[in-house]
Amino acid sequence: MAQRNLTRPSEFLLLGFSEEPELQPLIFGLFLSMYLITVFGNLLIILAISSDSHLHTPMYFFLSNLSFVDICFTSTTIPKMLWNIYIQSQVITYEACIIQVYFLMLFAGLDDFLLTVMAYDRFVAICHPLYYMVIMNPKVCRILVLVSWAISVLHSLLQTLMVLRLSFCEELEIPHYFCELNQMVQLACSDSFPNDLVIYITAVLLAGGPLTGIFYSYTKIASSIHRISSAQGKYKAFSTCVSHLSVVSLFYCTSLGVYVSSAVTHSSNPAGTHSLHSSATASVMYTVLTPMLNPFIYSLRNKDLKRGLKILFEEVALKCHFAFGLQKCP
C-alpha cells in the first residue's frame, strides 16, 4: 500500500540516542553539563576580550564573534533535546523543525566563514606584519564579519525554502536529536532531487571554498615562517597560529567524520536502529564537542587571553565585594 502524502505534517519524532528509559537521566546530565560548559566558556571569552583593551585587536574581535556563534549553535539544538528528555517526549513540531534547520545552517556556515576570516587574519599578520593594522583596520574587520553573516543567512534561507517545497509521508522519524537537513530530505515523498543538488553544490562552494582559503593562507604562512632565520622567531610566529589551526582541524575533521560515518552506516544498514543512533552520536562531535572545546583551546596557551580573564575576574570580585559591603552598611 502506498504511503499517504502529508504536504505539511504537524510534527516529527526525534529518535535521539537511545530509547531505553534508564539511560535518559545519564544522557540528560551529560548534555546539560556540556551545554553549560560551552555557554559559560564562550561567554567568558567574550567578556574577557571586551574587558581588556589590549585584546581589542582583529584576531580577538573575530574570536569573540566565533564564541558568540558557538553559543548560538549549541543553543539551537541542546535545549530542545533536554526539554524532550525532561518531559519524556520525542516530538518536535513542523514549524520548530524548520526553524531549527534554518538556524543550524546559519550558525554552521558562520563557523566556517569566521574560521576562514581568522586564517586570513593570521596570514596578513605573519606575511605582511608592517601593513597588518592598515589592511586589517576596524572597518575591514566589520565588513568581513558582515559578509560572513550575509552569505550564511542567504544560504540557510535557500536550504529552508527548498525544504518547505517538500511533501512528507507518514514515516516522520528523524534519526537524530535535532532536525538534520539531509535526514529531512530523505523522509520526503516528493521529488527531492533539486534539494540534493542544492545541498551538494552549496557544500562544494561554501565548504570547499573556505577550506581552500584556509589551506592557501597556511601554505603562505608556512613559507614565511620557514624564511625566518632565528628559531625563536619561528616559534613566536607559529605559536600565534596553533590555537586557530587546532580549532580548524577539529571543526573540519569532526564534520567530515560525521558525514563519512553517516554515509557508511546508511549504505551498510539503511533501516537499522544501530545506524540511526550511531549517526546521532557522531553528530555530537561537531555540534557539541567542538564549540565546548574552543574556549579551552584558545585560552590554555594564550597569555594575553589569560590576562584578560584575570582582569575580568578581578573586576567581578571587586564589584561583588563592593555590593556586599553596601549591604552590610546600616
pLDDT (tens digit, 9 = 90+) per residue, 68-91?
Answer: 999 999 999 999 999 999 999 999
Q: Is the pLDDT of residue 330 over 70?
A: no
Q: Is residue 64 part of a domain?
A: yes
Among candidate residues 30, 121, 55, the one with its CA nearest the CA of residue 311: 55
**Which carries the bigger pLDDT value, residue 238 or residue 34?**
34
Q: Is residue 28 part of a domain?
A: yes
- The CATH number that applies at residue 124 is 1.20.1070.10
**Which carries the bigger pLDDT value, residue 183 or residue 122?**
122
Among candidate residues 63, 74, 84, the one with its CA nearest the CA of residue 34: 74
- Reported as a single tens digit per residue, the pLDDT across 269-315 is 554 444 555 667 778 888 898 999 999 998 877 888 888 888 888 88
- Reported as a single tens digit per residue, the pLDDT across 206-227 is 889 999 999 999 999 999 999 8
- What pLDDT is stored for residue 313 in this prediction? 83
* Residue 192 grid cell: 527531492
Q: Is residue 67 part of a domain?
A: yes
38: domain range? 11-265+282-287
CA–CA dist 163, 180 (Å, integer): 11
Q: Is residue 74 part of a domain?
A: yes
CA–CA dist 15, 90 (Å, integer): 6
Q: Is residue 272 part of a domain?
A: no
Chain centre distance of CA 268: 29
Q: How many domains does the chain have?
A: 1
